[in-house]
Structures are given as C-alpha cells and as structure tokens.
Structure 1
Amino acid sequence: MAEHLRALKDASGFSLADLAAKTHYSRASWERWLNGKRVITPEALDRFTAVVASDRDTVRALLDSVRREAGSEDSAPVPGEGSTVAETTGPPAVDPDAPEERPETPAETPSVETPPANSAETHRRWAQGLRNGSSRLLAALLAALLAAAALVSGVAWLLVHSSPRRAQARTAATAPAQPTTEGVQCQGIGCLGKDPQQSGCDSDARTLTTANDGEVVLYVRYSSRCGAAWAKITNGSPGDTAVISTGSGERATALIHWGYDNYSPMVAAAGPDVTLRVCGSQPAGQACTSTVMSPKA
C-alpha cells in the first residue's frame, strides 16, 4: 500500500509540503502513511487521490484489502519502520493522526458541611468550628508576614554593609564557568568522520551556504562549538550523493540510501584558513556550492 502511494506521489511531482498544503493533513502524517508506519485513513486517501488525480476506486479497494488483512477498521500502527521522509519548509498543518489528549480529572473540592436546620447544638458546633478555622488562618498569615519582614530586613542589611567590590568578588568566585563546548563530544580534528547528531555538534549548527540542482538542495553545515562541518542533501532520491571537501583534502560523503535526504560525517573546520565546499551528483547532473572561507570568522 505504501509503495503504491509513494509511486503515485512521485509521479505527481508533489513534495510532502505540497500534500500537506493541498490536503490539510500534516507532513508528519504523510511521512508515516507513505513509509508504511501507519495505514492511511479513508478520508486522507480520498483527498490524496483527488490531489494526484488517481483512480479513487482502485486505490480504495487496495486500502480495504490492507485493512481486512490487518483485522482493524482503525489506522493502527504498522510493525517496523520505513524510510524517513524529511521536509523542512512550510508551516505545520493540523495532524488528524495524532492521539487525542485526555482531559484531566478535576480534583475534588472539599465541601463545607452545613448544619441540619432543626439542630441548635449542631449549628453551634459548626459555627464554633468556623471561628476556630478563621483563627488558625489568621495566625498563619501573621507568621508568614513576620517571616517576610525578617527576610526583607536581612537583605537590606546585606545591601547596606556589603561593598560593590566584595559583592563582585563573591559573585566571580562562586559563579560556575560556562564552557563553550558543553554538550559536545569532539572538537576540530577529533570530529573527523563522526556523526554530527550523535556527537552533539548539530545543537548549534548553521547553514553557511546552499546550492540547487533542480529540486535537489545541497547544504554546507557548520558547528562553531565543535569546529567541524558536514554536507547535507534534501529533496533527492536513493543513490544521490553530496560530498563535502576542505582545502586540506579532507572529504566526507552523504549518500541517500532510502528516502529523500541524508547528511555526511564531519570534517575538521577549526583552523583560520579552512575552506569548505559541497558538490552533489545526481542522474540529472552535478552542482556545487560556493567555497566558504574561514567559517569561524
């Protein structure tokens, strides 16, 4: 079912963002349906066939067959994971495939017991309880006010008797250092050949430059905390590649094994005279980004 839907999508030339805009289902839902992670709903299938101008009865018959085999009338998850379809543009759409949130059960509100109408003794005890509760509440409020006043007085004394220089010295002595490399696992040459996501280098990554080869987009990605860079390719097809190279001869390749995008391992980009460039190769041709000089600057 998923292979048939992907074939119809590819033949139409629409991207996931196009499908989300035309059908009002989110890109995430279309990624799950087209990769076989979930069985598409009949309503979404009707919109899909209308958008891609496909034979609705034929595709609907295929869906009915899949649902009978699955033994469920719902869009249950399909075991296993398909290829990931990445889309990075366009506003998020409402995801009808997302589970509904259950409303929280309101906490029970303690009720105040009212005295019986015909019991004078019970009424007297009830009124006495209210007075005792009010007295305890008033005492608690007074204690809180006294504690707040003492705290304010202590802070005022410290402000008056502490010089600015001493305060600055204490702050400098007790403030923890904030290393610029916190959270990353490598730097510079130590990042060579490593995965940018697993190494934490994608946390501050930015795109230095891009290039297009038809619909295929090539990226030069760079992390200043790691002093490393890598290639990224999107909107491609299995077999498409993007190779990042440096002026010192380092190279790393991003190959799309399945799906539409991928990224390469990292190359070192920490020196002041580093140059970076990404070149892509597809059946339709080749393209390269402009050369980036000294990315750290």
Structure 2
Amino acid sequence: MAFGHFSQGQPPEDPVEALRAELLAVKQASGLSYARLGARTHYAKSSWERWVNGKQFPPRAAVESLAAALELDPERLLALWERADEARADATGADEGGVGESANGAGEPEEPGHGAGGAAVAEADTSATPRQRSAGRRRLLFVGAACLLGAAVSVAAVLATGGDSHDAPAASKAAAATGSAQPPTPQCRAAGCGGKDPAATHCGLDGQTLTLTRNKDIVIELRYSKACAAAWGRITYASKSAIVDADNSAGDSFATPVHWGNDVYSPMVAVTGRMTAWACGTQPNGGARECTRHMPVPGTPQG
C-alpha cells in the first residue's frame, strides 16, 4: 500500500499537522474503520480516532504498529513522527529540568492491569510534556557505558516479548540494574515451570506470541518461551473477573482472573516434544469462552 500524500496539494508546514494528515491519508487508503484499525494494531479504536483527528498526539509505537499492520515502509511515517515530536517539544518551551520519558517510552506504554500482565494496547503516559520527555532522552546520553549496555539489554528484552513486555519486567529490570550484558537466567524449564509466573521466573524475557484470537473485545494470546519450554495465556481488552487460562495436551491447566484493569496473564504450562498448548479467555460471570489454536513447539513437524 502506498502512503497518502495529503489530499490538498502540498503537505502542511506544521509537522504535527503533517503527521495527522498522513495518518488520515493512510487510514482512508486502507479502507479500514477505526474498529478494524484497532483490531489490527491492538490499540483502541477510540485512540485511533483521537490520533487521526488531531485530538491527541500518537505514541511512536502506535505509528510503528500501524505501518506493520498495513505492510507499509515505516520510515516515512516515523520520520514525520520524529519531526512532529520535536516541534511539539520546541513549542512547549518547558523547563529542561523536568522528568524524562519512561523506560518503555518510545510509545510502548505501561498499561493498567494485573501486575506484569499487560500487552501494548494502552495509550502512552501524557503527564510529562514533550520538552520534558525530550530532555529526558538527551540526559540518557550522559549515562555511563555500563548502564547504557544494561539498558540496551532491557530494551531488547522488551522488544523480544512482541510489543508488550509486561510478562518479562523482572528480567529486563534486573539486567538494567546490574549493567550486565547477560540477561538473567530462566529459573525453571518444562514441567518445572508448571503453575509458575513467567515474569518471576524470567521466562517472559524471550516470550513470543505463537497465536492469538478474540472473544468479543478480548484479545487472547498464547505466549511461549523457548528457554523455559513453557507457554502461558494473556488477555487484553478484558473486564474485571474475565479469566485467562493456559492448557497443554498433557492435561495441565492454570487460570487467572482479571483483578483490576483490563489485562492479565496466566501461570505457565510445559510444552515440549509432541505436546501442544493453547490459551483461552472467558468473559466475566461465566460468559462465553474462546480458545486459540492448539500449537506445538515451534519448528516441530506436524502430522
């Protein structure tokens, strides 16, 4: 799909308006509704409506997610985003001494939800001004080499989780805190991980989403750690008391309800050899239950 090129001739001189116009052009070219756009990017349709219509500035990760969902070259959109972000920072004239951007502040937002269970579906924190966030980024340049290396490992851990890092925060934070180039060692494997927390055991550090499905508004993911030979379920866009469970073909099953917020992840089940695993999401109050496909260990021949 080609990018939009501003339906009214030359692009606006205002970088923020240029980004907004390009997002609108991309959406119109895609033919997708806000709801469909939200489903493809895992950001709320109401968020896209605000971003496209200029009511709120989008996080970088949302722009990246849009490019990936529509199979676009992200460079143009991200270049527009960078110029718009700098323009907003310059326009505020805020004190350089403000707080910096959060650790996952490139738009991969902290999400309200159960402990470490959220996916990258919430909006970025807007409490800091663009100038403050920009100042925070610049101050990072003065951090010592060891700390930078540790932070790089932490960011790599976040990206390895598939965009939403909350089932791996303990591992990434530990690496950053120690300045070590090596991430923490997973604390369990296979059957030994059964019923355990993927974050506390560092299994979430290499977590990846094998498959996903939906139960109405709930997004259900089956997450997998190669290092731990284990899988777990995660749900987002869920309501309080909705339940996620992870299951395997050996008969193991572990479930967790949403205690607050709109997301949660389950304890782990082993998935080795010819075993398969799947995740399910159940609506609150005994509502409908939907499950992902049954997935084998990645790379295992089927049949």
Asked which structure has the greater CA Rg, the reply is 1
